[in-house]
Amino acid sequence: MRVDLPVPEVVLAIAAHPDDVEFQCGATFAKWSEAGTVVHHLICTDGSKGSWDASSDIEALVALRQAEQREAARRLGSIGEVRFLSQVDGELGHGLELRGEVARVIRELKPRVVLGHDPWKRWRIHPDHRAAGRLAVEGVVAARDPHYFPEHGIEAHRPDAILLFETDGADHAESLAPRHVGAKVAALLAHESQFETTMRIDIDGTDIDARDHQAADFGRRIFTECRDVGRLAGVELAETFHIIDDI
Ligand SMILES: [Zn+2]
């Protein structure tokens, strides 16, 4: 397991849904932001399936989830952009047109490191995570070579590395301080619309103490996860990735 890239100047995470970035690399983003990295987010879907309430106002949910994503990025200390491809949640494709859109974003933002879902993870059942992973990897290939999408009229851009999160083949760790994991928890808790579905926090709100207690439990779970993967890398706290640096 390799530990810690040199702090990159600019990074871009490409994720399927609002909150995926925070779950997968939020603490790493907090660490890099603190060190001066410009951190950008590209969220592929609109998050419109993110409710268990069949009578949800979908338009309002989409707007809320975008606002939550921006607040989460702010809590990580991110000074970069938060962009949305606004594809329908659960129906993300990875065709040529979307690949071109992702390549355009990479060419515009010029990240040194691109982070995304590992599209080769076994037995993952969510189609959007697989599709977003393919878009990230194939978007990098298209962005780096000038004969892909010349109609963009933007110079080709070759990142130094791809870090794949949610991977079966972790071989790279970013070491973290407790404050970075704390920022990750705070950023995740910005996604209030997902308290019930993802974080198992009661959204009823009638019992504030119980809700705070569940939020604290959730925070401890995140710390435990970072401690467990840190042990694999020989550090106190970490997030892990599969690194591709031959691009
Ligand atoms: Zn997701």
pLDDT tens digits for range 156-210: 999 999 999 999 999 999 999 999 999 999 999 999 888 877 777 766 656 777 7
pLDDT band of 122, cuts 50, 70, 90: very high
Q: Rounded to whole angstroms, how far apart are CA atoms 144 and 192?
A: 37
Predicted pLDDT of residue 206? 64
Q: How far is the CA of 17 from the centre of ligand 1 (A)?
A: 5
Predicted pLDDT of residue 204? 63
CA-wise closest residue to 10 among 137, 142, 109: 109
Residue pointed to by tokens 């995740």? 188
What are the φ and ψ backbone dihedral angles of 246, each rounded to 5 degrees?
Answer: -115, 85
Q: How far is the CA of 214 from the centre of ligand 1 (A)?
A: 21
Domains defined along the chain, listed by start: 2-244 (3.40.50.10320)
* Residue-wise pLDDT tens digits, 54-108: 888 899 999 999 999 999 999 999 999 999 999 999 999 999 999 999 999 999 9
Q: How far is the CA of 147 from the centre of ligand 1 (A)?
A: 32
Question: Which tokens in the block code for residue 114?
Answer: 């691109």
Q: What residues have their beta carbon closer than 5 A to ion ligand 1?
A: 16-17, 20
Predicted pLDDT of residue 240? 98
Q: How far is the CA of 51 from the centre of ligand 1 (A)?
A: 13
Q: How far is the CA of 229 from the centre of ligand 1 (A)?
A: 20
Q: How far is the CA of 16 from the centre of ligand 1 (A)?
A: 5
Is residue 213 predicted with pLDDT exceeding 90?
no
Max CA distance (Å), the chain: 59
What are the φ and ψ backbone dihedral angles of 222, each rounded to 5 degrees?
Answer: -65, -40
Predicted pLDDT of residue 194? 84
- Is 99 within 8 Å of 218 (Cβ atoms)? no
Over the chain, what is the mean pLDDT?
94
Q: How far is the CA of 89 from the centre of ligand 1 (A)?
A: 9
Q: How far is the CA of 47 from the centre of ligand 1 (A)?
A: 8
Predicted pLDDT of residue 53? 81
